[in-house]
Amino acid sequence: MTKTKFSTYQLKPFINKAIEAIGFYEPTEIQERLIPTVLKGDSAIGQSQTGTGKTHSYVLPVLHKINPNKQEVQAVITAPTRELATQIHQEVLKVTEHANEGEEITSRLFIGGTDKVRAIEKLKTQPHIVVGTPGRINDLVKEQALFVHTASMFIVDEADLMLDMGFLEDVDQIGARMPEKLQMLVFSATIPEKLKPFLKKYMENPKYIHIEPKQLTAAKIEHILLPSRHREKSTLVYEALKLYNPYLAIVFTNTKKKAEEVATALTHRGLKVGRIHGDLSPRERKRMMKQITDLEFQYIVATDLAARGIDIPGISHVINYELPTDLDFYVHRVGRTARAGNSGIALTIYEPSDEDALNRLEKLGIEFKHIDIKKGELSELEDRNRRKKRTKQSDEVDKLAKSFVKKPAKVKPGYKKKMQFEMDKIKKRQNRLKKK
């Protein structure tokens, strides 16, 4: 077996086997800092940007700590969306499938939109690990079908999104049923004020691990601005998609209503479009995710809350139909592309009212290229800030005139006109001398 740099953590042999099979060689920064913390049994708050290897930073050490001989719940992992919970569960299974006889670890996924009676049936034998959405896990706990009081580890992923989506109460109720001596791991892209009371309630002196983004967004993303200039935005999106011909593009809107409008407009123009937004039923959502994974769509229209926490591989282009009201979401959106060392394009259609938001993004270090679509072709534009950046050029004669004419110590009415008259005289004289 090839030795990876994970061997220093002395994880169980089957976990090292899985690490090699997955193709990991060297831990990422968050894995390097978090794995020893989890192994030690300390609680931690992890703050890192998307695509940093966060899931394996807790999955690997949690699996190491599971005792396969105790058939009881030992770890509970909650995620705000069904898709994210499903992805985490799949990552757990990728590791556990390498376990030898006698060290098998059972993991069960419990998410909304699935048959609750069947879920209760499966719980006749309690699994070692529970992964799921807070609402469904809490339901099963209340039904006295799932026993979380035996768990010693509680993981809350995407906590800020839990807060946004109103799931923190369910998480709180699950946590309240767990032992007092609980190892808790909370992951959040941001730590909003409203989240702090919850953290304080369950975590005493947690280790705080903040992975500073190397860059606000991935290095290989090209950020592009396209002015709407009172044109129909859905037409601009259609033209951009046809010109770029992406491998897979995701178009972001701020509302479910707008997502439906854009998807319908693109469908009417002959594009096969996938949709991800909050109005889809669980069954529709599941079917849509399967179709997207099977690459049935080249184009997807989505809202932020519905798409965050979904990892869709192969996105080459992100199009912002409109800028998000919370600029943090700009980073989440564009973080969908240029993953795992690939390059990507993030195109934003903007209006004059977006100037302030764009200036703030530029202050954060994002450099935009400016384009337009004219006669079915992409053409490069000058920087939209060129007027602001243009400084009034003073020629040498101006500078010389200014150096000779000084502002008087005591100013009298009309002194500016007098100064200008003196400077003009000097400039005329200098220009005459130049001509000789």
In tens, the pLDDT along 221-274 reads 899 999 999 899 999 999 999 999 999 999 999 888 999 999 999 999 999 999
One domain for residues 260 and 308? yes
pLDDT grade for 351, boundaries at 50, 70 and 90:
very high
One domain for residues 232 and 317? yes
Least reliable range by pLDDT among 181-185, 205-209, 328-332:
328-332
One domain for residues 249 and 351? yes
Give the tens place of pLDDT for each residue, 251-264.
999 888 999 999 99
Q: What is the mean pLDDT of the chain?
A: 85
Q: Tokens 């337009």 label which residue?
A: 372
One domain for residues 378 and 409? no
**Of 151, 183, 210, which closes a domain?**
210
Average confidence (pLDDT) over 413-420: 70
One domain for residues 178 and 105? yes
The answer, yes or no, to whether residue 392 has pLDDT greater than 50, is no
Average confidence (pLDDT) over 111-120: 87
| Per-residue pLDDT, 390 | 45
Average confidence (pLDDT) over 153-176: 92
Give the tens place of pLDDT for each residue, 134-152.
999 999 999 999 999 999 9
One domain for residues 356 and 240? yes
One domain for residues 234 and 370? yes
The answer, yes or no, to whether residue 396 has pLDDT greater than 60, is no
| Per-residue pLDDT, 263 | 95
The answer, yes or no, to whether residue 395 has pLDDT greater than 80, is no
One domain for residues 382 and 404? no
**Of 388, 404, 419, which closes a domain?**
388
One domain for residues 180 and 311? no
**Of 159, 175, 210, which closes a domain?**
210
Residue 216 domain-assigned? no
| Per-residue pLDDT, 112 | 86
Name residues whose C-beta falls within 8 Å of residue 73's C-beta, 6 or more positions apart in sequence. 126, 127, 128, 129, 130, 146, 147, 148, 150, 151
Which CATH number characterizes residue 123's domain? 3.40.50.300
One domain for residues 69 and 20? yes
One domain for residues 360 and 406? no
Average confidence (pLDDT) over 65-76: 96
User: Domain total for the chain?
Assistant: 3
Could you give the count of Cα atoms lying within 13 Å of 16 in the half-sphere of its Cβ?
13
Average confidence (pLDDT) over 177-188: 93
User: pLDDT > 90: what percent of the chain?
Assistant: 48
**Of residues 310 and 68, which shows the higher confidence score?**
68
The answer, yes or no, to whether residue 360 has pLDDT greater than 90, is no
Residue 71 domain-assigned? yes
| Per-residue pLDDT, 107 | 96
| Per-residue pLDDT, 81 | 84
Give the tens place of pLDDT for each residue, 380-389.
888 776 655 4
Residue 418: domain span: 396-435
Residue 215 domain-assigned? no
Residue 402 domain-assigned? yes
Average confidence (pLDDT) over 197-218: 80
Q: Are 14 and 103 in contact (CB under 8 A)?
A: yes
One domain for residues 245 and 347? yes
The answer, yes or no, to whether residue 55 has pLDDT greater than 80, is yes
